[in-house]
């Protein structure tokens, strides 16, 4: 059966899933890239970036699974880009160049309508103005028997968690304290809404924790 998953989501020791002041120069927010030092060296990330090589092992295993088995993706508008307010035109096509790493229908949560954007490699961005449940309905329909990934950012993941719509959550706890940023789990009672830890493994660069809703 198709599942709704958050996977490969990096969090700092003090609970932040992104840095402050996202911009063109800092798409992950200031100091945000520090959260992904477990991910960037992996073979999975290198392949996504069109490079050879990369590390294997536990971090790469979690990285690979964080991109496998998905038939559709959901992203918040801030994950798609730094543009705010009404779309001034169709020139912004995401952070990833002409061939984004999704290779599947990808639904962008936004308050402003925009025509679908067809990219190379099988990715089409659809801009959804009807909220998280409409986006999930569309994504599930597109994914068929495959899973749907809630790809971020922090606000989007929080909304789906608070609505009880996420089946499993893989967090990569990075050994860094950001001090400031976007708090992922503040005010969310994971145990109270039915999540329990079903897997955890530690490496030099992250502690991977998988929580599954029972």
Domains of the chain by residue range: 4-85+99-213
pTM over the 0.85 mark = yes
Question: Is 4-85+99-213 a domain of CATH 1.10.520.10?
Answer: no
pLDDT in tens, 5-32: 999 999 999 999 999 888 888 888 899 9
Distance separating alpha carbons of residues 53 and 30, to the nearest angstrom = 28
Radius of gyration of the chain (CA): 16
pLDDT in tens, 179-197: 999 999 999 999 998 999 9
Q: What average pLDDT does the segment 132-147 reach?
A: 98
pLDDT over 90, % of the chain: 93
């Amino acid at each position: 059966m198709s599942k709704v998953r958050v996977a490969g989501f990096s969090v700092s020791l003090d609970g932040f899933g992104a840095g402050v002041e996202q911009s063109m120069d800092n798409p992950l927010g200031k100091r945000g890239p520090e959260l992904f030092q477990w991910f960037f060296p992996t073979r999975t990330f290198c392949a996504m970036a069109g490079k050879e090589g990369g590390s294997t092992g536990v971090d790469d295993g979690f990285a690979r699974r964080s991109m496998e088995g998905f038939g559709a993706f959901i992203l918040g508008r801030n994950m798609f880009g730094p543009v705010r307010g009404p779309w001034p035109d169709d020139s912004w096509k995401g952070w990833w160049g002409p061939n984004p790493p999704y290779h599947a229908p990808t639904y962008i949560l936004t308050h402003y309508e925009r025509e679908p954007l067809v990219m190379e490699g099988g990715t089409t961005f659809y801009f959804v103005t009807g909220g998280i449940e409409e986006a999930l309905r569309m994504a599930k329909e597109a994914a068929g028997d495959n899973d749907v990934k809630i790809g971020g950012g922090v606000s989007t993941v929080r909304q789906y968690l608070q609505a009880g719509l996420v089946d499993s959550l893989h967090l990569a706890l990075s050994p860094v304290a950001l001090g400031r940023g976007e708090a992922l789990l503040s005010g969310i009672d994971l145990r109270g809404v039915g999540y329990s830890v079903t897997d955890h493994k530690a490496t030099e660069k992250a502690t991977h924790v998988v929580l599954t809703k029972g």
